[in-house]
Amino acid sequence: MIKLTISIAFCLITSYFTQAQNTFSIKQAQEHALNNNYDIKNAQLDVKNALKKMQETLSVGLPQINADLEWQNFIVVPTTLVPASQFNPEAPDNIYTEMQFGVPHSTNASITASQLIFNGSYLIGLKAAKYFMKFAETRKNLTESQIKDSVSTAYFNVLIEKKNNDFIKQIVLIHKDIVEEIQEKYINGFVENIEVDRMSLILSQMEMQYANIQRQTEIAEAYL
């Protein structure tokens, strides 16, 4: 697998940038981008949120069981005055008897269960949650594909620029040898001064082109 040594600006979580010399294959470069790209992290969070939302919606339709326990403690049991004549017909009407109705402690327990069998709002909400989940996953996959494509393009651009850089460098070296040879011939009277000037001009142009290629290579590496 072709590997390329490049200078990459790493964006750290602590929000500062450092430069380091690293060797990456194209697959490693793509994995590095997927692990550190903020768009991917946001897309992954959207998928998690969509999954949580769908689970919450699903839970609404599951059987719901409610239990209730009530306990009462009467420190003083309520007392009621009742005419004594109700229990003793011979008792005077103005005589009352105290009676307590109830017990000091009482307990009441109940359990209820319910489930949505058919509810239009629930079904619509569940369908919307599923669509939202599918949309979040599709967006994440699309973002990953776009990042991989961008990394691949940038990676091969660097390779191309480096090849061009090496090619132009060899051309410059060849022209330097030619200029030196022409200058020797001029000194010995075999060529005119115009030939030296012409080849020197060509060499100067090639050196400028080589400098431009070097800058383009640096820009391509920085972009990657």
In the predicted model, what is the mean pLDDT of the chain?
76
- Which neighbouring-strand residues pair with 18? 10
* pLDDT per position as a tens digit, 191-213: 888 988 898 898 899 899 889 98
Helix (H, G, I), strand (E, B), or coil: what is residue 180?
Answer: helix
Ramachandran assignment for 62, one of left (phi > 0), alpha (psi -120 to 50 degrees), beta (any other): beta
Q: What pLDDT does residue 102 have? A: 58
CA distance 175 to 203: 6
- Which neighbouring-strand residues pair with 72? 106
* pLDDT per position as a tens digit, 154-175: 898 888 988 989 999 999 999 8
CA distance 81 to 96: 6
Q: Contact at 8 Å (CB) between 95 and 83?
A: yes
- Say how far residue 132 (Cα) sits from the centre of its chain: 16
